[in-house]
């Protein structure tokens, strides 16, 4: 099963639609150069603009699940001392202000992540 980040995908589709009027405007302004030259220049302009937009969409931490990892913790679920994981922020889930954050070992973290998915949290 492919894990799709729907927020990123939606932004990408909106970005794709926004490129249409921009590139059409460039084509209109450069129409006198001929179709091939105008299209080539319009695609270069689009690349100059939308590279940065796409980079933000696909790499921004604002759009992704934020994790905190610590090397040696006691797992809140099983009590094992191990590397600890916790989700700090995801769509529909925000534990940025937890005064007592709960860390889990890898195995328990995977179980907790699956539980959150079943509850509708986009992890």
- pLDDT tens digit string along 34-80? 999 999 999 999 999 999 988 888 877 666 677 888 888 999 999 99
Kindly tell me if the per-residue pLDDT of 123 is higher than 90. no
- Strand order across the 81-90 sheet: 66-74, 81-90, 93-94
Q: What pLDDT score does 1 carry?
A: 41
How many angstroms separate the Cα of 64 from the Cα of each of 35, 60, 61, 78, 117? 40, 7, 5, 27, 15
pTM: 0.49
């Amino acid at each position: 099963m492919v894990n799709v980040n729907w927020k990123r995908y939606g932004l990408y589709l909106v970005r794709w639609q926004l490129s249409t009027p921009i590139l059409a405007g460039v084509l209109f302004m450069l129409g006198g150069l001929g179709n091939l030259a105008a299209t080539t220049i319009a695609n270069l302009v689009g690349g100059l603009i939308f590279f940065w937009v796409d980079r933000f969409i696909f790499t921004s931490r604002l759009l992704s699940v934020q994790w905190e990892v610590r090397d040696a913790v006691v797992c809140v679920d099983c009590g094992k001392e191990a590397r600890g994981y916790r989700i700090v922020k995801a769509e529909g889930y925000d534990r940025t202000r937890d005064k007592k954050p709960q860390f889990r070992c890898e195995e328990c973290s995977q179980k907790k992540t699956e539980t959150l998915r079943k509850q509708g949290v986009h992890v």
